[in-house]
Amino acid sequence: MFITFEGGEGSGKTTQIQLLKDALEAKGHDVITTREPGGTIEAEKIRELLVQRDGGDWTPTAEAMLFFTARHMHVETKIKPALAAGKIVICDRFTDSTIAYQGYGHGFDLDTLNAIKKVSIGNMEPDKTFILDIDVTEGLTRAGKRMEGDDDGSTEDRFERMKIDFHENLRQGYLTIAKQNPNRCHVIDASATIDDVHLAILSAI
Protein backbone atom coordinates (compact mmCIF):
# COMPACT_ATOMS: atom_id res chain seq x y z
CA MET A 1 0.00 0.00 0.00
CA PHE A 2 1.22 3.46 -0.94
CA ILE A 3 0.06 6.17 1.50
CA THR A 4 0.78 9.88 1.14
CA PHE A 5 0.42 12.82 3.50
CA GLU A 6 -0.37 16.28 2.19
CA GLY A 7 -1.12 19.70 3.61
CA GLY A 8 0.12 23.21 4.08
CA GLU A 9 2.92 24.33 6.32
CA GLY A 10 2.80 23.25 9.94
CA SER A 11 -0.12 20.90 9.31
CA GLY A 12 1.63 18.11 11.22
CA LYS A 13 2.54 15.65 8.44
CA THR A 14 5.90 14.65 9.90
CA THR A 15 4.38 14.10 13.34
CA GLN A 16 1.51 11.99 12.01
CA ILE A 17 3.64 9.94 9.63
CA GLN A 18 5.80 8.75 12.52
CA LEU A 19 2.72 7.85 14.62
CA LEU A 20 1.13 5.93 11.74
CA LYS A 21 4.38 4.10 11.02
CA ASP A 22 4.64 3.03 14.68
CA ALA A 23 0.99 1.89 14.72
CA LEU A 24 1.32 -0.16 11.52
CA GLU A 25 4.60 -1.73 12.67
CA ALA A 26 2.96 -2.68 15.96
CA LYS A 27 0.48 -4.66 13.86
CA GLY A 28 3.35 -6.49 12.16
CA HIS A 29 3.54 -4.56 8.88
CA ASP A 30 6.81 -3.73 7.15
CA VAL A 31 6.76 0.05 6.69
CA ILE A 32 9.13 2.56 5.12
CA THR A 33 8.77 6.33 5.30
CA THR A 34 10.10 8.73 2.73
CA ARG A 35 9.57 12.31 1.56
CA GLU A 36 9.33 14.63 -1.41
CA PRO A 37 11.08 16.38 -2.86
CA GLY A 38 13.76 13.83 -2.00
CA GLY A 39 13.81 10.26 -0.81
CA THR A 40 16.78 9.13 -2.90
CA ILE A 41 20.34 10.46 -3.25
CA GLU A 42 19.59 12.06 -6.61
CA ALA A 43 16.21 13.47 -5.57
CA GLU A 44 17.69 14.90 -2.36
CA LYS A 45 20.19 16.81 -4.54
CA ILE A 46 17.26 18.27 -6.49
CA ARG A 47 15.52 19.08 -3.17
CA GLU A 48 18.38 21.42 -2.31
CA LEU A 49 17.80 23.35 -5.54
CA LEU A 50 14.09 23.64 -4.82
CA VAL A 51 13.66 24.35 -1.12
CA GLN A 52 16.82 26.14 -0.01
CA ARG A 53 16.53 29.93 0.26
CA ASP A 54 19.37 30.35 -2.24
CA GLY A 55 18.52 27.25 -4.31
CA GLY A 56 17.95 29.16 -7.52
CA ASP A 57 15.54 31.50 -9.31
CA TRP A 58 13.68 28.89 -11.39
CA THR A 59 11.05 29.66 -13.99
CA PRO A 60 7.71 28.00 -13.12
CA THR A 61 8.19 25.42 -15.88
CA ALA A 62 11.70 24.57 -14.73
CA GLU A 63 10.52 24.31 -11.13
CA ALA A 64 7.65 21.96 -12.06
CA MET A 65 9.97 19.77 -14.12
CA LEU A 66 12.51 19.62 -11.28
CA PHE A 67 9.82 18.39 -8.88
CA PHE A 68 8.79 15.70 -11.36
CA THR A 69 12.40 14.75 -12.18
CA ALA A 70 12.98 14.12 -8.48
CA ARG A 71 9.66 12.25 -8.29
CA HIS A 72 10.51 10.04 -11.27
CA MET A 73 13.76 8.92 -9.58
CA HIS A 74 11.97 8.43 -6.28
CA VAL A 75 9.19 6.32 -7.80
CA GLU A 76 11.46 4.17 -9.96
CA THR A 77 14.30 3.51 -7.53
CA LYS A 78 12.59 3.52 -4.14
CA ILE A 79 8.80 3.47 -4.06
CA LYS A 80 8.08 0.80 -6.70
CA PRO A 81 10.77 -1.61 -5.42
CA ALA A 82 9.50 -1.24 -1.84
CA LEU A 83 5.90 -1.88 -2.89
CA ALA A 84 7.01 -4.87 -4.95
CA ALA A 85 8.73 -6.24 -1.82
CA GLY A 86 5.42 -6.06 0.05
CA LYS A 87 6.22 -3.01 2.17
CA ILE A 88 3.84 -0.23 3.08
CA VAL A 89 5.29 3.06 1.81
CA ILE A 90 4.33 6.27 3.61
CA CYS A 91 5.44 9.38 1.76
CA ASP A 92 5.52 12.98 3.03
CA ARG A 93 4.10 14.83 -0.03
CA PHE A 94 3.69 13.54 -3.60
CA THR A 95 2.06 14.74 -6.84
CA ASP A 96 -0.81 16.49 -5.02
CA SER A 97 1.80 18.90 -3.61
CA THR A 98 2.81 19.94 -7.12
CA ILE A 99 -0.83 20.37 -8.16
CA ALA A 100 -1.56 22.34 -4.97
CA TYR A 101 1.63 24.47 -4.71
CA GLN A 102 2.66 25.02 -8.33
CA GLY A 103 -0.87 24.74 -9.79
CA TYR A 104 -3.39 26.24 -7.34
CA GLY A 105 -0.80 28.25 -5.38
CA HIS A 106 1.29 29.75 -8.18
CA GLY A 107 -1.26 29.48 -11.00
CA PHE A 108 0.79 27.13 -13.19
CA ASP A 109 -1.46 25.60 -15.88
CA LEU A 110 -2.96 22.37 -14.50
CA ASP A 111 -3.15 20.65 -17.91
CA THR A 112 0.57 21.24 -18.46
CA LEU A 113 1.34 19.90 -14.96
CA ASN A 114 -0.69 16.78 -15.69
CA ALA A 115 1.14 16.32 -19.01
CA ILE A 116 4.54 16.54 -17.24
CA LYS A 117 3.20 14.11 -14.64
CA LYS A 118 2.18 11.61 -17.33
CA VAL A 119 5.67 11.65 -18.89
CA SER A 120 7.41 11.44 -15.49
CA ILE A 121 5.46 8.84 -13.53
CA GLY A 122 2.67 7.59 -15.81
CA ASN A 123 -0.45 6.68 -13.84
CA MET A 124 1.30 6.23 -10.49
CA GLU A 125 -1.11 7.31 -7.73
CA PRO A 126 -1.19 6.69 -3.99
CA ASP A 127 -3.73 4.21 -2.63
CA LYS A 128 -4.61 6.58 0.22
CA THR A 129 -3.87 10.25 0.77
CA PHE A 130 -4.38 12.13 4.01
CA ILE A 131 -4.83 15.85 3.51
CA LEU A 132 -4.13 17.55 6.84
CA ASP A 133 -6.31 20.64 6.72
CA ILE A 134 -5.62 23.56 9.01
CA ASP A 135 -6.37 27.27 9.17
CA VAL A 136 -3.53 29.00 7.32
CA THR A 137 -2.54 31.32 10.16
CA GLU A 138 -2.55 28.48 12.68
CA GLY A 139 -0.37 26.32 10.42
CA LEU A 140 2.08 29.12 9.71
CA THR A 141 2.27 29.91 13.43
CA ARG A 142 3.19 26.29 14.11
CA ALA A 143 5.81 26.32 11.34
CA GLY A 144 7.05 29.73 12.54
CA LYS A 145 7.33 28.51 16.08
CA ARG A 146 9.55 25.75 14.91
CA MET A 147 11.72 28.15 12.84
CA GLU A 148 12.08 30.57 15.77
CA GLY A 149 13.31 27.64 17.85
CA ASP A 150 15.91 27.14 15.10
CA ASP A 151 16.66 23.74 16.58
CA ASP A 152 18.11 22.32 13.36
CA GLY A 153 19.50 25.51 11.82
CA SER A 154 17.34 24.79 8.75
CA THR A 155 17.15 27.31 5.91
CA GLU A 156 14.55 25.23 4.01
CA ASP A 157 11.99 28.01 4.23
CA ARG A 158 11.70 29.35 0.67
CA PHE A 159 8.03 28.32 0.46
CA GLU A 160 7.12 29.28 4.04
CA ARG A 161 8.15 32.88 3.33
CA MET A 162 5.52 33.38 0.63
CA LYS A 163 2.45 35.58 1.10
CA ILE A 164 -0.67 34.53 3.01
CA ASP A 165 -2.85 34.63 -0.16
CA PHE A 166 -0.67 31.95 -1.64
CA HIS A 167 -1.28 29.73 1.38
CA GLU A 168 -5.06 30.32 1.19
CA ASN A 169 -5.06 29.31 -2.51
CA LEU A 170 -3.01 26.29 -1.60
CA ARG A 171 -5.49 25.21 1.07
CA GLN A 172 -8.45 25.59 -1.30
CA GLY A 173 -6.47 23.69 -3.94
CA TYR A 174 -6.06 20.74 -1.60
CA LEU A 175 -9.78 20.75 -0.79
CA THR A 176 -10.54 20.73 -4.52
CA ILE A 177 -8.18 17.80 -5.08
CA ALA A 178 -9.96 15.95 -2.25
CA LYS A 179 -13.37 16.56 -3.84
CA GLN A 180 -12.09 15.29 -7.19
CA ASN A 181 -10.62 12.12 -5.63
CA PRO A 182 -13.07 11.07 -2.92
CA ASN A 183 -11.99 7.42 -2.80
CA ARG A 184 -8.30 8.19 -2.41
CA CYS A 185 -8.27 11.38 -0.33
CA HIS A 186 -9.30 11.85 3.28
CA VAL A 187 -9.42 15.39 4.62
CA ILE A 188 -8.41 15.38 8.28
CA ASP A 189 -8.99 18.28 10.67
CA ALA A 190 -5.38 19.00 11.63
CA SER A 191 -6.27 21.63 14.23
CA ALA A 192 -7.22 18.87 16.67
CA THR A 193 -4.74 17.48 19.19
CA ILE A 194 -1.93 15.25 17.92
CA ASP A 195 -3.65 12.20 19.45
CA ASP A 196 -7.06 13.01 17.93
CA VAL A 197 -5.56 13.57 14.48
CA HIS A 198 -3.80 10.21 14.79
CA LEU A 199 -7.06 8.47 15.76
CA ALA A 200 -8.88 10.02 12.79
CA ILE A 201 -6.16 8.72 10.46
CA LEU A 202 -6.25 5.22 11.99
CA SER A 203 -9.99 5.05 11.66
CA ALA A 204 -9.79 6.05 7.98
CA ILE A 205 -7.07 3.43 7.36
Q: List residues binding ligand Z5A (CB under 6 A).
A: 7, 9-15, 36-37, 51, 67, 92-93, 97-98, 101-102, 142-143, 146, 159-160, 193-194, 197
CA distance 112 to 20: 34
Considering the complex, what minimum distance in angstroms separates the CB of residue 87 from ligand Z5A?
21
Considering the complex, state which of residue 101 and residue 174 has its C-beta at the smaller distance from ligand Z5A.
101
H-run or E-run covering 181: none
Considering the complex, state which of residue 9 and residue 133 has its C-beta at the smaller distance from ligand Z5A.
9
Considering the complex, state which of residue 24 and residue 188 has its C-beta at the smaller distance from ligand Z5A.
188
Considering the complex, state which of residue 85 and residue 159 has its C-beta at the smaller distance from ligand Z5A.
159
Considering the complex, state which of residue 76 and residue 160 has its C-beta at the smaller distance from ligand Z5A.
160
CA distance 80 to 36: 15
Considering the complex, what minimum distance in angstroms separates the CB of residue 86 from ligand Z5A?
26
Q: Which residues contact 127 (CB under 8 A, 6 or more apart)?
A: 1, 2, 3, 184
Considering the complex, what minimum distance in angstroms separates the CB of residue 115 from ligand Z5A?
15
Considering the complex, what minimum distance in angstroms separates the CB of residue 54 from ligand Z5A?
15
Considering the complex, what minimum distance in angstroms separates the CB of residue 183 from ligand Z5A?
22
